[in-house]
Amino acid sequence: MNVLFLQTADSTRYAPMLRLTGQTVQAYASRHGHSYNSFLGIKRGFHPWHAVYNRIEMLTSLMVEGYTGWAVYLDADSYIHGQDFDLRAYLAGKEHLAFIAAPDLVDPPLWWRINDGVFAINLAHPMAVRILLRWRAAFHAISDDELRRAEKWADVPCDQMLLHECLRHMPEAENACLTTRDVCGVLNYAHAAFIRQVLRAVTNDDMAQRMKIIEAAVAETLGGPLTPTTVPTSRKQEAEDYVNALYQLLLLRAPDPEGFAHAVAQCSAPGHNWADELRAVLGSGEFRAKTQTFLAHYAQGGPNRG
C-alpha cells in the first residue's frame, strides 16, 4: 500500500515552517516506501492566507489524474512524530472508510466538526469523491472578486468552515467517516502517536514562538540538529504553478480540473516547451472572446466614461 503525503503553504509566511515539518514527512515517506508532494504558493486566490484552499485543489487534481489510494494531508504546522508508526497496519481493514480526521474539541462532539489540519482521505471510495467535489464546489462558489477583497481570514469562509458545512449537509457520509475522539490519539493535536500539530492557539498565534516549538519537536523527532533545507520542487510542481498562473492572468479564472490536468501533464513531459501552452491559451477562443469584450468595453469609455 503506497500512501501519498501532501503539504502546502503560502510562499512567504508559512514556507519556513513547512521546510521544517516537511523534513519529518519526507523522512517517514522515504523510510516506509510512501510518496510525498508539497506545494508553495496559491492555487486559487490572491492573498497569502488563501493557501489554506490549496488542499482542495491538490486533492481534486489527484482525483482527476485517477489516483485511487490513500492521501494524508498535513498543514505546515504538523509533523510526523511517530517515525516507526505502522500506517499500513492502521489503514488495513479500513477500505470501507472515505475519510479519517480528528474532531474539533467541542462538547458534545459532532461527527462533522473535524480539524482539517491533518486528515486521511481514501480516493478509492465513492463517498470521498462526493465529499471532495462538494468541498471544491463550495470553494468555487466564492467568486474571484470576493477572494480579492478577502484580505483577512474571516472575510470569507475558510477551508475548514466550508468542509464543515458540506459534511453537515451529508448525513449519508457519517458511516464512511471516522471522526471519533479515538482518532486524536493517532492524528493531530499535541500528544498523537503518529502526526502532531502545533496549533496557533498554543502560542496565541505568536509565529516566532510556534516556530521555536516546531524546531525543537522536529529536531527531537529526527534525532539530531536540523540542517538547512528547502522543499524540493519537482517539474510537475513547477508545471502546476505555471499552468495556474496562465489561467489566472490570461483567462481571469481558476483552471477547470480536466484542462488543468491535461496542461500539467504536457508541461511535465521531458523536453516539452512551455511556450506551447502559452500559445495555446493565447490562441484559444475563450481568450479571444475575453479580449474582444475587454476592448469593446474600453472603446466605449470603460468604467470611467462620462
- Read off the pLDDT of each residue in 144-151 and give the average, rounded to a whole number: 95
Q: What residues pair up with 25 in beta bridges, in sequence order?
A: none
Per-residue pLDDT band for 234 (boundaries 50, 70, 90) equals low
| CA–CA distance, 281 with 250 (Å, rounded to integer) | 8
Residue 5 cell numbers, joined = 503525503
Q: Is residue 141 pLDDT above 80, yes or no?
A: yes
Predicted pLDDT at 235: 64
Predicted pLDDT at 284: 81
- Read off the pLDDT of each residue in 10-27 and give the average, rounded to a whole number: 94
Contacts of 31 (CB under 8 A, 6+ apart): 83
Predicted pLDDT at 226: 57
CA atoms within 13 A on the CB side of 221: 27
| Domain map (residue ranges) of the chain | 4-222, 235-304
Per-residue pLDDT band for 232 (boundaries 50, 70, 90) equals very low
Contacts of 278 (CB under 8 A, 6+ apart): 246
| CA–CA distance, 37 with 135 (Å, rounded to integer) | 21
| CA–CA distance, 122 with 213 (Å, rounded to integer) | 31
- Which has more confidence, 17 or 270? 17
| CA–CA distance, 55 with 14 (Å, rounded to integer) | 14
- Report the 3 state secondary structure along 232-283: CCCHHHHHHHHHHHHHHHHHCCCCCHHHHHHHHHHHHCCCCCCHHHHHHHHC
- Which has more confidence, 281 or 216? 216
Question: What's the pLDDT tens digit per position in 61-107?
Answer: 999 999 999 999 999 999 999 999 999 999 999 999 999 999 987 77
Q: Is residue 286 pLDDT above 80, yes or no?
A: yes
Question: What's the pLDDT tens digit per position in 181-218?
Answer: 899 999 988 889 999 999 877 777 788 889 999 999 99
- Read off the pLDDT of each residue in 281-289 and give the average, rounded to a whole number: 81
pTM, to two decimals = 0.75
Mean pLDDT lowest among 5-19, 30-44, 243-257 = 243-257
The residue type found at 243 is V
Residue 221 cell numbers, joined = 523527532
Q: What long-range pairs does 22-29 form, CB within 8 A, spacing at least 24? A: 22/229, 22/231, 23/218, 23/222, 23/226, 23/229, 24/79, 24/80, 24/81, 24/83, 24/218, 24/221, 24/222, 25/74, 25/79, 25/80, 27/80, 27/83, 27/222, 28/80, 28/83, 28/85, 29/5
In the chain, % of residues over pLDDT 90: 62
Q: Name the CATH topology of 4-222.
A: Spore Coat Polysaccharide Biosynthesis Protein SpsA; Chain A (3.90.550)
Q: Is residue 220 pLDDT above 50, yes or no?
A: yes
- Which has more confidence, 22 or 305? 22
Per-residue pLDDT band for 230 (boundaries 50, 70, 90) equals very low
Question: What's the pLDDT tens digit per position in 159-189?
Answer: 999 999 999 999 999 999 999 989 999 998 8
